[in-house]
Amino acid sequence: MNPDASERSKPSEASNRLILVWDLPTRLFHWLLVMLVIASFATGKIGGLWMQYHMWSGYAIFGLLLFRVAWGFVGGRHARFSNFVYGPGAVLRYARTMLNREASRHLGHNPLGGWSVLAMLIALLVQAVTGLFANDDIFIEGPLYPWVSKATSDWLTHIHKLNQEVILLLVAVHVVAVFFYLILKHENLIRPMFTGRKHWGAEDQSSTNLLGMAALIASLLALGVFLLVR
């Protein structure tokens, strides 16, 4: 599932042309997820009465993740899984050349970046789903706690706690990778996630307006999550 060869170029081929890469729904998802993950970690560590906010942020994260999964199939060109999920061979070839100045640039996610996105989505989905069944043996229980036995809930709570470390590791890798590209490869990955646009040396057909579809999907999923956890 590799993107077209036209999406790659050598750094020397880049021009001042700004190409739309990340559609607005993808950018909103990204920054809302960042804020909610921070809120979830903070409220979870504080505990006490803040656990109610922890649960609410978890519900919001769950809805966002469901949206991103759907958007990975019907969203903008570079947001689709088919555009950035590469096979093992392509990932290994990219890993071997990523330190070279002549390494290919990618308009969307590069082969390693694509798999890091999948890893983050999976880890956060595990966190959100296990949280729905979790309990703290005091006064907080997930909305789906009655659906399982106490032993199963305790096991899922254990996974919920362990998975925090996995998420922290993935976040650390993500931050290091962003600064690696910024400092060593002189490629700013942060600005395009705000503006949606990236300097590129060729035309790209990725500017389709999909806001209506995004709003419909988000609304339906928000309603579904609300009905699930109420």
pLDDT by residue (tens digit) across 55-67?
999 999 999 999 9
Which carries the bigger pLDDT value, residue 49 or residue 15? 49
Q: What is the mean pLDDT of the chain?
A: 87
Q: What is the pTM for the complete model shown?
A: 0.87
Least confident of 34-48, 58-72, 90-104: 90-104
pLDDT of 16 reads 62
Tokens of 194: 């705000």
The span from the CA of 183 to the CA of 107, in Å, is 18
Q: What angle do CA 87, 90, 91 make, to 5 degrees?
A: 85
For residue range 134-183, list pLDDT tens digits in order.
998 888 889 999 999 999 999 999 999 999 999 999 999 999 999 998 98
Tokens of 126: 């595990």
Tell me which residue has tokens 């990340």: 22
The span from the CA of 40 to the CA of 163, in Å, is 13
For residue range 145-157, list pLDDT tens digits in order.
999 999 999 999 9
pLDDT of 10 reads 44
Which carries the bigger pLDDT value, residue 12 or residue 115? 115
pLDDT at 206 over 70: no
Distances in Å between the Cα of 17 and the Cα atoms of 20, 136, 213 are 10, 53, 28
CB 109 within 8 A of CB 76: no
- Helix (H), strand (E) at residue 189: none
